[in-house]
Structure 1
Amino acid sequence: MYRVVQFTGPRQVEVAELPSRALGPGEVRVRTRYSGISAGTELTAYRGTNPYLTKTWNPATRLFGGAGTAPSQSYPIPGGGYSEVGEITEVAPDVDGGPAPGDLVWGIWGHRGEATVPAGTVRPVPEGVDPLAASFARVGAVALNAVLAASPHLGELVTVFGQGVIGLLVTQMALRSGVQVIAVDTLERRRDKATEFGAELVLDPMAGEVAERVREYTGGTGADVAIEISGSYLALHEAIRTVTTGGRVVAAGFYQEEGRGLRLGEEFHHNRAELVSSQIGGVPATLSGRWDQARLNETFLCLCARRVLDPVSLVTHVLPPSRAAEAYEVLDTNPAGALQIVLDFEEDQACPPSPARNS
């Protein structure tokens, strides 16, 4: 038996016990150590706003179906995570030259204490990478993909809207690319972290119009690039207002429902802004000959090993799975109370909660 965290309905979380199954051909068994919670994608399933819960996604046509079609997902939704680290405990007899028992690996198998997965879907945690840092492999790839889509040039000014976990990783990466960064977020704790990482200027959108302040900072021209990672249509509209004439806006958030507050007949139309979508399902088309998802993941972990990036400093809570409902409630109702929450499946549920890290 093993534990799995699942959503049984909107804002309903439980930890279930499921039976282990025998390995199939080409499979390995992994015992989970860490599983990071995504405060973006996972909250859409937690809140019930994810389009997969109301529409059918057709992978052949790459279109969502409308009324009368069955949704692609329904509750319960087990093990919704996508950034896991664990130890190989068993390998199918036909797996040769791949993962071996005792190997520390990362992959995507969800918030579950154990998983049986194809051997080719797990990757070794590189030497020198903290296992907690390895639990960021997928969200780190999301951030890196957004930066690649932005294509910042040395000396340019990039405005990053949203300084949650992925936004702060974007800020770190953009700064390592030799650009100046203006970080935008409503929460002081996140703005302070962006300043710590080296953001040139931090702005609170609740304190006034961001675009006007960016233009004042740049002598009237605006930012070269804006990356919107919060998933807010209001922030996307402001990102469009922020860039200079012909500037690029990368929409990397997971936007829900209708685009309230997004007015494309205004600055988008008059300033001829370039609007680019970034989503982890693929890399920018111009880079597809050199980059793929595997390279995104490997590059992020390599940067962690070289101490170029510091994801572990974003971990504020390490909790046992028994407190998963509490974790989602905090992320949903009190985002200022946490940055990255990680579930530790090796932590005894009877133990007191782990102290916050780098909070």
Structure 2
Amino acid sequence: MRNIPETMKALVAYGKGDYRLELNYPTPECGPDDIIIKTEGCGVCAGDLKCYHGAAMFWGDEVQPSWVEPPFIPGHEFLGHIVELGENVKDFKIGQRITADQIVPCGECKFCKSGRYWMCQPHATFGFQKGNNGGMAEYVRYPKTAVISEVPEDMELKKALLIEPYGCSKHAVDRAQITNDDVVVIAGAGTLGLGMITYARMKNPTKLIVLDMLDNRLEKAKEFGADLVMNPGKEDVVAKVLELTDGYGCDIYIEATGHPASVQQGLNMVRKLGRFVEFSVFGQPATIDWSIIGDRKELDVLGSHLSPYCYPFVIRNICNGNLKTEGVVSKTFPIEEWEKAFEYATGKYGDFKVAITF
């Protein structure tokens, strides 16, 4: 006899814009290698919003196939306590507080076998496919291959909800290979950008510059460690960065806005032989002159995906205060108010991170 209910509250995605709150959705079954958690909370990511609104990278179009597999339960920034363990699970115990990487690696492809599990070829993830439902539900199943990290019991929920986004932020900054000789520009000071700023500050670059169109975000960026903040809507930020660097440009540009204009801005701003890190999920294609990358500047252009091997560092440094979190998770909503949570998660009311709690 199971000691958890047979049904639960869950937000279920059936199609583009067709998300429904189900009050009696079946609770996930616990297989012999599985773990079931009772969800504490789940952040609402920009990717969740773009998926809800039908972005082609999720639902496909004439040039790419659909990636999502409805019906699915969205949400990948979640954590909770173990309430059920499969008979083969030996390393965890009932009541333990845990979270997991967004990726659910297969363990069999060449990427998994070489330790590069975050680029797993099948690329199953929590919150976008029906086989790995996400955290916008009262209970979630972690399968055998989930990459699980323990969360300290005394870690405040609003801080713990930042483990997944800050893990992604850390990986992006690590890709940038920042040294203390570098002038670094981070474009975008939302939740992910703030995670990058507070971590990049630990790298002690010569100058850390942050760009955003919203002044309240720029204020938070300064609080989190930016040396200089600029609003591209109010000043010529490319000219300003060139002026600050004797006409050369910044050494590193990290793109975290998700807006195509930021890509061109970065290519214009970064110096010859500089490094451009692309992090964002775009709702539409970005068109640029590729000759800037090759013939004109010989740039290193790097992508950043997910948060491999980042959770233990992030958990430890959020807990000890090295990574700033104050005010990032600004509002929480019960699952019954998911539509309001999605609305506030757009940032239109000045919020950084919004979460659904249980």
| TM class by smaller structure | 0.7 to 0.9
Q: Tell whether 2:303 aligns with 1:303.
A: no
Letter in 1 for 2:96: D
For this pair of structures, how many residues does the alignment match?
317
Counterpart selection for 2:26 from 15, 19, 27: 19
Match of 1:321 among 335, 343, 350: 335
1:6, distance to aligned residue in structure 2 (A): 2.9
Give the whole-Å Cα distance in 2 for the aligned partners of 1:303 and 1:35. 20
SS in 2 for 1:335: coil
Deviation of residue 325 (structure 1)? Answer: 0.9
1:230 aligns with 2:236: no
Q: Give the equivalent residue in structure 2 for 1:31.
A: 38
Q: Give the AA of the match of 1:337.
A: G
Is the contact made by 1:132 and 1:312 (CA closer than 8 Å) also made in structure 2? no
Cα RMSD (Å)? 2.2
- Written as runs of structure 1 = structure 2, the 5 A alignment for 1:194-209 is 194-209=221-236
Residue 84 to residue 94, structure 1, CA distance change in 2 (3 Å): same
SS at match of 2:281: coil
1:12/1:208 CA distance change after superposition, 3 Å: farther
1:205 is paired with a residue whose SS is coil
* Alignment map for 1:1-359 (pairs within 5 Å): 1-17=7-23, 18-39=25-46, 41-54=47-60, 71-73=66-68, 75-76=70-71, 78-96=72-90, 98-107=91-100, 108=102, 109-118=134-143, 121=146, 122-126=148-152, 129-179=155-205, 180-260=207-287, 262-266=288-292, 269-280=295-306, 293=308, 295-332=309-346, 334-345=347-358
Separation of aligned partners in 2, 1:211 and 1:90 = 54
Measure the CA separation in 2 of the matches of 1:118 and 1:8. Answer: 23
- For the 8 Å contact 1:13–1:324, the answer to whether it is kept is no
Asked if the contact 1:186/1:205 (under 8 Å) is kept, the reply is: yes
- Normalised to the residue count of structure 1, the TM-score between the two structures is 0.81
Q: CA 1:324–1:312 in 2, change beyond 3 Å: closer, same or farther? A: farther
Deviations 1:222-274, CA, capped at 9 Å, x for gaps: 211010011111101101111112111101111233224x2334576422222
**Distance apart, 1:277 and its partner CA:** 1.3
In structure 1, give the amino acid aligned to 2:31. Answer: G
Which is further off, 197-206 or 272-281? Answer: 272-281
TM-superposed deviation, 1:127 = 6.0
For residues 90-118 of structure 1, the C-alpha deviation after alignment (integer angstroms, 9 at most, x for no partner) is 2223322x221111111254211112323
Structure 2: segments with no counterpart, 5+ residues: 1-6, 103-133
Measured in 1, the distance between the counterparts of 2:144 and 2:327 equals 31
Q: Which moved more, 1:158-167 or 1:19-28?
A: 19-28
AA of the residue aligned to 2:336: S
1:42 Cα deviation after fit: 1.3
| Alignment CA distance shift 1:272-1:209 (3 Å) | farther
Which structure features the higher share of helix residues?
1
- Counterparts of 1:92 and 1:154 in 2: how far apart (Å)? 48
Contact 1:243 1:249 in 2 (8 A): yes
For residue 88 of structure 1, report the CA deviation from its aligned partner: 1.0
TM-score (norm 2): 0.82
